[in-house]
Structure 1
Amino acid sequence: MQTLRAAVHSELSIRKSRFVGCVQPMANRAAALQVVEQLRRDHPNAAHVCWALHAGGQSAANDDGEPGGTAGRPMLEVLRRQELDGVLATVVRYFGGVKLGAGGLVRAYTDAVAQALLSAEKVPMNRQLRWTCTAPFELEDWLRRQLQAHDVTLLAVSRADTVAFDLAGAESVLRALRAQLDTARGARLRWSAAGDAITR
């Protein structure tokens, strides 16, 4: 799975209508909706601001007044076919007075997104994980030293019967760290997932 490094734009003119497309990396639906609202402010004379977000469980599509299924869903399908995640596609349409029909709209919105993606730089997804590592108190200093030697973020430390380290980092880094620590002190460490998020 891949995402995009930066936003890329396109512009098409089809039978007097203008379609201004953009694809850009996007972490979640809340951030996507802010971008869409800003586009509406930036293009007050546009007939439609259609969008599609492919971001794991937060994926969504919106036709913004175009006939159902002719804009947002086709845009989302372009992102899916290209195996992109964490990406927002938007198309602003200025209506030129000539109706395109359902098939013409699907092609126009699909082409606006596909054209932008032609010049977009795709980069591998980097899943960010949150894990908790629990250890006996006598291993706390040793564990802190191991964590400092790796590119992980220590979010919090809590103490009860044991000491628990809440960690965040790239999936590949955390898995390598866990394998190394388990080899050294595996029987004395306990791991649990605290959640995850997809980022670049």
Structure 2
Amino acid sequence: MEDYFFTVSGSGESLYKEKGSKFIGLTFRVKDEEEVKEVLEEVKKKYYDARHHCYGYILDEDKYRANDDGEPNHSAGDPILGQIRSKKLQQVLVVVVRYFGGTKLGVSGLINAYKTAAFEALENTKLLKVVIEKHYSLHYGYELTNEVMKLLSDFEVNIIDQNFTDTCRAKVGVRQSLAGEFEEECEKTQGLEIEAN
């Protein structure tokens, strides 16, 4: 089971021109639909004078969407979405802003223009590998600190938060593919309480 995915590490941009029309491709990393809405509002404010703001996004395998924003059906959003899919990316939004140049491009011309603008914007963006983690809360006494730290080190656990008061608490992220094994090891350690978040 793959426990990682690729996304964009920042924003990228491209400019494609066809018969006087300008297509500006923009890439963004987004974690949820709320963030998609916020980014789209910003883009529409910045490029308020553009004719179309077409986009596609993939959050994960089950959450994705394409929008033609007034262009003929499937001539803009789907080609954009196709470029994100072809690179197997997640948590990515690509917006292509169009300034109409006065000459109609026809459906095949539009598909090519939106596809190219999206492709080039993604090419101009650095990719980032994201490991999918399962999160846990650990609770243990001071006497177990060395044992717990060794366990965390063995599983290359990401320590999100630690709190040492009268007892020790830690919030940790464990690589999804190792989560079952990590839980088993924790349960073997007497006095260590583990709770999945």
Task: Give TM-score scaled by structure 1 length.
Answer: 0.75
Residue 102 of structure 2 is matched in structure 1 by 97
Deviation at 1:109, TM superposition (A): 0.6
**What's the RMSD between the two structures over aligned residues?**
3.3
Residue 50 of structure 1 is matched in structure 2 by 54
Unaligned segments of structure 2, at least 5 residues: none
Task: Give TM-score scaled by structure 2 length.
Answer: 0.77
Contact conserved, 2:14 with 2:124, CA < 8 A, in 1? Answer: no
Contact conserved, 1:152 with 1:174, CA < 8 A, in 2? Answer: no
Deviation at 1:10, TM superposition (A): 0.3
Deviation at 1:29, TM superposition (A): 1.6
Q: How does 1:112-151 map to 2 (within 5 A)?
A: 112-132=117-137, 139-142=140-143, 146=148, 151=158
Deviation at 1:140, TM superposition (A): 3.6
Q: Secondary structure at the match of 1:33?
A: helix
Residue 31 of structure 1 is matched in structure 2 by 35
Residue 92 of structure 2 is matched in structure 1 by 87
- 2:19 counterpart of 1:8: no
Deviation at 1:127, TM superposition (A): 1.8
Residue 73 of structure 1 is matched in structure 2 by 78
What is the aligned-residue identity percentage?
A: 26
- 2:175 counterpart of 1:171: yes
Contact conserved, 1:49 with 1:90, CA < 8 A, in 2? Answer: yes
**How far apart are the structure 2 equivalents of 1:104 and 1:58?**
28
The residue type equivalent to 1:10 in the other structure is S
**Matched length:** 184
Which residue of 62, 67, 74 corresponds with 1:62? 67
Deviation at 1:151, TM superposition (A): 3.2
Deviation at 1:120, TM superposition (A): 1.8
Contact conserved, 2:159 with 2:170, CA < 8 A, in 1? Answer: no
Contact conserved, 1:129 with 1:169, CA < 8 A, in 2? Answer: yes
